[in-house]
Amino acid sequence: MNRSIILAALVLATPISWMPTSSPSASDRSLPMHFELRMQGPPSACGSNCLKLIGASGAITADSPRQFVAFAKKNDLTGATVVLDSDGGSVHGAIALGREFRKLNLATTVGSLIDLPADAHSEPRAMLSPRADCESMCAFLLLGGIQRSVPSESRVMVHQIWLGDRREDPTAASYSAEDLVLVQRDIGRLAQYTAEMGASIDLLDVALRIPPWEPMHALTREELRRTRLVTDDIDIPTPATVARSVPKSSPQPEARVTDGAQMATISQQRWTLVNESGVGSLARHHPLTFEGEEIGSFDLVVACGSNADSYDVTYIERRYSGEEMQLPVALQTVSLRVGKHAAALKVVSSERRNADEHLVTHAVGRVPAALIRAFAAMGSHSMLVKTESSNLATAIRIGNTGASQNLPRLAAACGKAPGERADLSKAKTGLAAVK
Summarize pLDDT for 304-358 with one digit per residue, the tens: 888 889 999 999 999 988 666 788 889 999 999 999 999 999 999 999 887 768 8
Distance CA 363, CA 354 (A): 20
SS3 71: helix
Per-residue pLDDT of the chain (435 residues; tens, 9 = 90+): 333 333 333 333 334 444 444 333 334 667 999 999 999 988 877 877 889 999 999 999 999 999 999 999 999 999 999 999 999 989 999 999 999 999 999 999 999 999 998 776 678 899 999 999 999 999 999 999 999 999 989 999 998 876 666 767 777 777 788 877 877 888 899 999 999 999 999 999 999 888 888 888 999 989 999 999 999 754 433 333 333 333 333 333 333 333 333 334 688 889 998 875 556 789 999 999 998 888 999 999 999 888 889 999 999 999 988 666 788 889 999 999 999 999 999 999 999 887 768 899 999 999 999 999 999 998 888 999 999 998 889 999 999 999 999 988 888 888 766 555 444 444 333 333 333
Question: In terms of residues, how long is the chain?
Answer: 435
SS3 7: helix
C-alpha torsion sign, points 126, 132, 137, 140: positive
122: left (phi over 0), alpha (psi -120 to 50) or beta: beta
What is the CA angle 428-430-434, rounded to 5?
A: 110
**Strand (E) or helix (H) holding 204:** helix 202-208
Distance CA 141, CA 370 (A): 40
Of 144, 167, 150, residue with least CA distance to 239? 150
Residue 174 burial (10 A CB sphere; 0-12, 13-18, 19+)? exposed
345, 407 Cβ separation under 8 angstroms? no
* Cis peptide preceding 15, ω within 30 of 0: yes
Of 245, 244, 261, residue with least CA distance to 350? 261
Distance CA 138, CA 134 (A): 5
Query: Helix 403-414 vs helix 369-376: angle between axes, to the nearest 10 degrees?
Result: 150
Distance CA 230, CA 137 (A): 16
SS3 214: coil
pLDDT in tens, 251-290: 333 333 333 333 346 888 899 988 755 567 899 999 999 9
Ranges of beta strands (E only) in 73-222 are 81-85, 89-90, 107-110, 112-115, 125-129, 133-135, 148-149, 155-158, 217-218
Distance CA 220, CA 238 (A): 5
Distance CA 228, CA 149 (A): 10
Distance CA 262, CA 244 (A): 31
Give the end-to-end CA distance of the chain in Å, rounded to a whole number: 18
Distance CA 12, CA 23 (A): 18
pLDDT on residue 191:
93
Query: Helix 91-103 vs helix 177-196: angle between axes, to the nearest 10 degrees?
Result: 20
Residue 177 burial (10 A CB sphere; 0-12, 13-18, 19+)? exposed
Residue 42 burial (10 A CB sphere; 0-12, 13-18, 19+)? middle
Distance CA 328, CA 32 (A): 44
pLDDT on residue 234:
41
Q: What are phi and psi of 204, to 5 degrees?
A: -65, -40
Query: Helix 91-103 vs helix 64-74: angle between axes, to the nearest 10 degrees?
Result: 20
Q: What are phi and psi of 103, to 5 degrees?
A: -60, -35
Of 260, 289, 286, residue with least CA distance to 402? 286
Of 192, 236, 190, 246, residue with least CA distance to 215? 246
